Structure 1
Amino acid sequence: MSGLLILRQEVVADGGDSSTLERDARRGRIVRLTAGAYVRADEWAALTRAEQHGARVHAVVPRLGPDTFVSHESALALQGFPLLGEWPTRVHVVSRGRPRTKVSSTVHRHAVALRNDETSVVQGLPVVLPRRAAVDVVRRRDLRGGAVVLDHGLAVGAFSRGDLEGVLAEHGRAQGSRRAAASVAFADGRAESPGESISRAAMHSAGLTRPELQARLPAEGSLVGFVDFWWPCCGVIGEFDGEVKYRDAAMRAGRTAEQVVVEEKLREDALRALPGVRTVVRWGWAEALAVEPLLRKLARAGVC
């Protein structure tokens, strides 16, 4: 990531004219991340939002001095976590010995306690470990936002539930601890996407019967498939349909989008034919984010 950066000091050291950088920034050829640090506009546009935030981290943090650690959302961005909503415009760090929080246009310095065993090095930068960064982030997010972060961390093995509970026990007096504890208790590493996480949170908040996650159908015998959500009480299968399975070439594994759609239809027909299955309910990002459309679909199917 740091290889993307164009640094004024390196341009000058190589005999270049630093004034051309600002001129190119005004013309839209490069993007200014912070004073003296830029990225080519075409390379910037090709990055995901998380990668763009990671580039900001690499532009800002090396200038902040010793005993400064990338934290909160910024630490999660460097370690491949998803986030519900936009990534922050400021880089989040923890600076040891700082008596109070300080916020500038580019940096949010948190005044919080940090132990040596809560840090590591990622992409050459000193970074707060995922378990600590995740708990700090979900203190300020609702259940949906917390589930997106924590489900992912559990799924990829970045931490265990015990790790998260240990952080809560160590820093239990911090603001938002009750909210974080609720998110930790709710988190489930069986969720395979942020869309599944926010859908499950919507179901939980609405008081719906808790579904089985990634259920094998049928439970015994020849496998037809694993489903995102399964309510055996009413014979309802729930599937979150993210567009990535149709657009991502790696996930299509050489198949066209049309082939993926046909295979999904055949799979759904086979699931509907199983004993005990009444119906299959599908939804996407728009319905999961709006919540009510998702709940109406489930109610019509008989989930309560």
Structure 2
Amino acid sequence: MLEHVADPLGIILRRDALAVGFNDNHLARARRDGSIVRLRQGLYVLGSSWASADPATRHRMLVAGVLRLYRNTVAASHQSACVLQGGPMWGLELSHAHVTNLAGVGERRAARVTHHRGECRVGDLTRSEGLWVTSPLRTALDTASLAGRDAGVCVLDWYLNRGLVTRHELGVGLDRKVDWPGSLPLQLAVRLCDARSESVGESRTRLLCVDRRLPLPDLQFEVFHPSGRLAGRTDFAWPAYGLLGEFDGVGKYTRTRRLGETVVDAVLREKAREDLLRELTGWRMIRFVWADLDTPAATAARIGRAMHRAAA
């Protein structure tokens, strides 16, 4: 049974299967009946494991298998390391496993693996479950250098918000990469990142304000009772315009549900919180959803109208 050759993720290396008595005919039959799925040459995963995996887990399977194939000659890097470290996936190219060759050679893209060449210094690498992975600082900068401005800022925001890197460390790391490809877009992403953003949606909303020349919001704005007790926080606030803002992501109400609380209960509690914050401040509230980010001109106009009404 091939299940006995698989690791906890369901990964099977061809060389391991051959070593215990299977052959290529066994593997071919298993592929045809769906027992295994071929990820690349020499690398398979149990069909049941693959079918039940979400996109992040599927990428982890590919990366973990590739690292086992190459043993200790490469480290997971760039967006693959970001996924392994739990970072955001929005806007990242994840069809390939991204690795950096520890010998500093090789720059190619083949068989679902992108090989990067780059000097790895002390502190650039860490071990995770027996495999080499670039450090959070190196990962954040490498990923942002490839991802484009918006996705890069979302990645940098996440690493800053989780306390995995500091702005000072980003600056030092950026100085080391000044001659690397992608360094100019990376410099812009570093200038725009903000540790206070708690989600991709919040980061992208902030960047929409940058692009549309709207006043930048205060982030994680705190509202207090007259007694000084904290009443709540909002994702955004424009105090000069008397406007509060919230980003309602897909998982917001499920993620913040309390023990024994239904989604409806969570929505009603959020509505009561919003009413309280508006009552305490006398300000308006504007809410954003993912679809708003796909229509930046319309969303910017909506923010502008809300500012005008709130300031009137």
Tell me how far apart the structure 1 counterparts of residues 66 and 149 of structure 2 sit (CA, whole Å): 31
Are 2:233 and 1:226 aligned? yes
Which residue type is aligned with residue 234 of structure 2? Answer: V
Partner residue, 1:179:
185
The question of whether the paired residues in 2 share the 8 Å contact of 1:50 and 1:87 is answered with no
* AA matched with 2:142: D
Residue 187 of structure 1: how far off its partner (Å): 1.2
TM-score by length of 2: 0.88
Write the distance in 2 (CA, Å) between the matches of 1:161 and 1:219.
Answer: 33
- Say whether the 8 Å CA contact 2:97–2:112 is kept in structure 1: yes
Contiguous gaps of at least 5 residues in structure 1 = none
AA aligned to 1:26 is R
The answer for the alignment partner of 1:156 in structure 2 is 162
Q: CA deviation at 1:276?
A: 3.9
Letter in 2 for 1:291: P
The letter of the residue matching 1:62 is R
Deviates more, 1:149-158 or 1:56-65: 56-65
Q: CA RMSD in A?
A: 2.3
- Aligned partner letter, 2:241: C
User: Does residue 123 of structure 2 align to residue 93 of structure 1?
Assistant: no
Instruction: Report the Cα distance in structure 1 between the residues aligned to 2:260 and 2:184, rounded to whole angstroms.
Output: 46
- Counterpart-to-counterpart distance in 2, 1:172 and 1:219: 48
Partner of 1:64: 70
Counterpart of 1:59, as a letter, is G
Out of 297, 300, 309, which is 1:295 matched to? 300
- Of 124-133 and 215-224, the range deviating more from structure 2: 215-224
Cα separation, partners in 2 of 1:35 and 1:254, compared to 1, 3 Å: farther
Q: In the alignment, which residue of structure 1 is the partner of 2:249? A: 242
Instruction: Name the amino acid aligned to 1:104.
Output: A
Say whether 1:34 aligns with 2:40. Answer: yes
- Matched AA of 1:199: T
Provide closer, same or farther for how the CA distance between residues 99 and 42 of structure 1 changes in structure 2, counting only shifts above 3 A.
closer
Most deviating of 23-32 and 176-185: 23-32
The change in CA–CA distance for 1:290 and 1:40 in structure 2 (over 3 A counts) is: farther
Aligned residue for 2:165, secondary structure, equals coil
Distance 1:302 1:111 in 2: 48
Alpha-carbon shift at residue 188 of structure 1 (Å): 1.3
Between stretches 142-151 and 64-73, larger displacement belongs to: 64-73
Aligned in 2, Cα 1:235/1:39: closer, same or farther, shift over 3 Å? same
2:26 maps to a residue whose letter is: T
TM-score, normalised on structure 1? 0.90
What CA distance in whole angstroms lies between the structure 2 residues aligned with 1:296 and 1:10?
Answer: 59
CA–CA distance in 1 between the matches of 2:291 and 2:32?
36
> Structure 2 residue aligned with 1:284, among 274, 280, 289?
289
- Indicate if the aligned counterparts of 2:237 and 2:245 stay in contact, CA closer than 8 A: yes
Secondary structure (helix, strand or coil) at the match of 1:94 reads strand
1:117 counterpart SS class: coil
- Post-superposition CA distance 1:169-224 (Å, at most 9, x none): 11211122121112112211211111111111111121111111001013862322
CA contact (8 A) 2:106 2:116 kept: yes
Identical pairs, percent: 33
Whole-angstrom CA distance in 2 between matches of 1:114 and 1:59: 22
Matches within 5 A, 1:133-144: 133-144=139-150
SS of 2:215 mapped into structure 1:
coil
Cα distance in 1 between the residues matched to 2:72 and 2:14: 22
Checking the alignment, whether the CA contact within 8 Å between 2:72 and 2:132 is kept in structure 1 is no
How many residues were matched structurally? 302
Q: Residue 70 of structure 1: CA displacement?
A: 1.4
> Is the Cα–Cα contact under 8 Å of residues 198 and 289 in structure 1 kept in the other structure?
no
Any unmatched runs of 5+ in structure 2?
A: 1-5
Q: Distance in 2 between matches of 1:252 and 1:15?
A: 52
State the Cα distance separating 1:12 from its structure 2 match: 3.9
Question: Quick check: 148-157 or 110-119, which moved more?
Answer: 110-119
